[in-house]
Chain A
């Protein structure tokens, strides 16, 4: 028997499902506490976050918590794994595109002119001293961990809660989903471009399943809609062939790295996905779907 609870946070839906109803409340409390810690460490919308301190003090090494060291470390792993397609130094480009506040606030205001910061500074410029917990970025660089922080949190929460309570756990934060533990039956998951859209159903026994899209977190500009997935090569919202990508991988961070890279850089990321062999479902600009590397062909409309 499973039990589930969902709520809104980080401008998306968070859902926690466990196969032991007795632990649901405690598990939800732990997940909320972890998300609060991550928010205080890595939110670029909070002036009191550690990330804001790093961005404000660009050009010097800044002491940070171990949590933020882990989050930046993961973002650099994602950048390395994706060949720079998922780059934490896109902060300036995201702001230039108009995404400089909570997404609901950005959507509410009148369309504003956007600019282009050019190619992003590059993740290789980030200085990370794990032993001393110091992080530094060059002047003119702005970090944004939005691409990996949710997936990291889903991974972390699912693994910790599954081990702590001895049950199967499913953590969903926006499009990033992680299953841990051994459920009696695989979880049945709906995959869709946006919440409420028609989707397909698959089963998930373990690992991470993420969906990245440029159709959901977007806002109006004088030149049309802009979105939050930045192509690091141009510093502008991506306009590649895939508007949405869903990927399965052993962890949510890994899955998210590939799904984000596919939307951000298109065919360039496809080669890396092929080498990795992770199942993927791609939706192109016209809505045509391509399923790769063992994505369940018998999935049905959910």
Chain B
């Protein structure tokens, strides 16, 4: 009769080690898969808005420090055009009457 008992004096410990290793591998696989899915979902939901300041990805689950607040928290800020050059500004014609003013106050 062939047996392995002679070669494995601690069968219980070996079984435990094997099960622990299998559990560790499964946990790692699930973790990597979950992280990948989360990143994919966030990437898909994140709008490509290069004009505003970047929002943090932290969750607002309580009293939080104000560092890095989301620019999109206000519905009115920076949601117009996103160009950063002089796209909205130009030279005025000599005979054009002014329609508005930006005066220091």
Residues in A lying within 8 Å of B, measured CB to CB: 2, 4, 11-13, 15, 17, 61, 69-71, 73-74, 76-77, 80-81, 123-131, 134, 136, 152, 155-156, 159-160, 170, 172, 174-177, 179-180, 186-197, 199, 201-207, 209-213, 215-217, 244, 246, 248-251, 253-254, 276-279, 293-300, 302
Contacts and interface: CB of A to CB of B under 8 A. Distances in A.
A76 B105 CA distance: 22
A248 B84 CA distance: 9
Given A188-B97, A202-B91, A250 B104 contact: no
B89 A195 contact: no
Nearest to A81: B53
Given A127-B63, A128-B64, A299 B92 contact: yes
A207 B73 contact: no
B101 interface: yes
Given A177-B101, A189-B92, 4 more contacts: A70-B73, A77-B77, A210-B102, A216-B103
Contacts of B89: 202-205, 207, 209, 248, 279, 294-296
A177 to B, nearest CB: 5
Contacts, number: 230
Contact of A188 (B85, B98, B105): B98
B85 to A, nearest CB: 6
A180 B20 CA distance: 63
Contact of B104 (A156, A188, A193, A201): A193
A216 B92 contact: no
Interface in B18-75: 51, 53, 60-71, 73-75
Given A69-B73, A81-B53, A211 B104 contact: yes
A188 B64 contact: no
The interface residues of chain B, by DSSP majority, are classed as loop
A196 B100 CA distance: 13
A52 B84 CA distance: 36
A61 B62 CA distance: 11
Contacts of A80: 53, 67-69
B100 to A, nearest CB: 5
Contact of A302 (B85, B90, B98): B98
A152 to B, nearest CB: 6
A293 B61 CA distance: 41
A186 B90 contact: yes
